[in-house]
Amino acid sequence: MHIPPPTPRQNHWNRVLLNTFWLVLLVYLASQLFISLSMWGLRPEFTDRQYFVTHVFIPDSIILVLILILESIRKWKPMYSELSIVFASHIYAILIITNLSEEYPVKPLIMLSPLLVSMIYLKSSYMKISSAICLIYIVMLFIGTPSYEYTLRIQHVIIALIFAATALAGFGVICRGKDLMRSLEESVKSEQDLRIQNIIMDRLSKIDPLTDLYNHKTFHEYLGWLIEHQQSNPFPMQLAVLDIDNFKKVNDQYGHWVGDIVLKQVAAMVLKHIGTDDFAARYGGEEFVVILTAKPLNEANEIMERILTGIAGMPVAEMEGSSVTVSIGMHEFSVTDSKSFTFQQADDALYEAKKTGKNKIVLL
């Protein structure tokens, strides 16, 4: 069976539980030393060398080795870290219980720790295994308790009830946790769907559906923003207005559907030649606008020349292989220019190109 690698959150909780194991070991060792020191001279059985070897050094060394093994698994085989921690929590609890004196009747409650570990991982399979082990442990306690030790048996019954309540609470926490995780996933998915819808709606509000260029409204917003930005950070900027020559003739002769194909091809040619810092939009009808930024005028003019010749040399299959031409008016922005003046200059240049022969660029 393929076990997927742990997620960052799983790694986090594995680390938290391993740190808890280290902390419990330190507290357990400190309590053993405290008991030995407090009993010094009063209870020799708690202070002699044999006691330290049997009840301190050996069990604590086993626990230390167990934790080091868990650390190695987390480092080299992280996909098995979660399962090994759950398994080790039972060994950890049993080692502490077997090492404690029979004078501590509440020591079986240490078996609650594996239940709590299983609860943290929010996996019912771990909780079932831990509950079964606790049940076996309680049965062994009853078997090992003489019938005349009714007080001890009552204590075992109370402990069994505590185990059962903890297990039931654990299953409830796991179910509730899974419900919350599902709700969170659904909420995240809904938020993602809404975000995608907003992105789509935002795009639809800015893009011309036929040519896939920006629309008239977006052009004016962007040009205004660029001109405002020029006040604090001037940079070269040119505005070009393009108009397809004799476009009405194309629609009349071949039909509007062919006219739509021409618009798409002209838009594609514009996008092919402008850079990532530039902006192209369909202004309306057969008219397009291009904003060229961060380049000198001669380079901007070369780009528009390539667009001009590219469109003129682009055959349209639906027009029996004929092509269309465009007229282009350009204006280089000056820091004293307003948005309306900038557009008016480019539009006047386009009018001049149309009037003086078409299929050409005029700069004003």
Q: What is the pLDDT of residue 96?
A: 86
Contact 170, 162 (CB under 8 A): no
Q: What is the pLDDT of residue 145?
A: 80
**What is the pTM for the complete model shown?**
0.54
Is the pLDDT score of 45 beyond 60? no
Residue 334 has pLDDT above 70, yes or no: yes
Backbone angles phi, psi at 285, to 5 degrees: 60, -125
The CA radius of gyration of the chain, in Å to the nearest whole number, is: 40
Here the tokens at position 143 are 């078997």
Arithmetic mean of pLDDT, 71-76? 92
pLDDT (mean) for 24-28 = 89
How far CA 213 is from CA of 190, 279, 280, in Å, comes to 30, 9, 6
Given pLDDT bands bounded at 50, 70 and 90, which one contains residue 203?
low
For the cut 80, the answer to whether the pLDDT of residue 204 exceeds it is no
Name the pLDDT band for 51 (thresholds 50, 70, 90).
low
SS (H, E, C) the chain: CCCCCCCHHHHHHHHHHHHHHHHHHHHHHHHHHHHHHHCCCCCHHHCCHHHHHHHHHHHHHHHHHHHHHHHHHHHHCHHHHHHHHHHHHHHHHHHHHHHCCCCCCCHHHHHHHHHHHHHHCCCHHHHHHHHHHHHHHHHHHHHHCCCCCHHHHHHHHHHHHHHHHHHHHHHHHHHHHHHHHHHHHHHHHHHHHHHHHHHHHHHHHHECCCCCCECHHHHHHHHHHHHHHHCCCCCCEEEEEEEECCHHHHHHHHCHHHHHHHHHHHHHHHHHHCCCCCEEEEEECCEEEEEEECCCHHHHHHHHHHHHHHHHCCCCHHHCCCCCCEEEEEEECCCCCCHHHHHHHHHHHHHHHHHCCCCCEEEC
Which residues have a catalytic role annotated?
286
On the question of pLDDT at 2 being above 70, the answer is no
Instruction: Choose between 38 and 225: higher pLDDT.
Output: 225
Q: Please tell me the predicted confidence (pLDDT) of residue 356.
A: 93
**For 300-320, what is the mean pLDDT?**
94
Token duo for residue 140: 């062994």
Is residue 71 within 8 Å of residue 64, measured between CB atoms?
Answer: no
| Mean pLDDT on 265-273 | 94
pLDDT band at 248 (very low <50, low <70, confident <90, very high): very high
pLDDT of 47: 57
Report the percent of the chain where pLDDT is more than 70.
93
Torsion angle of C-alpha atoms 168, 91, 155, 38, degrees rounded to 10: -130
Please give the span between the terminal C-alpha atoms of the chain, in angstroms, as a whole number: 73
Q: What was the pLDDT predicted at 199?
A: 63
Let me know the angle formed at the C-alpha of 44 by 39 and 45, rounded to the nearest 5 degrees.
Answer: 100
List pLDDT tens digits, range 83-119.
999 999 999 998 888 877 777 778 888 999 999 999 9
- Asked if 130 contacts 171 with a C-beta cutoff of 8 angstroms, the reply is no
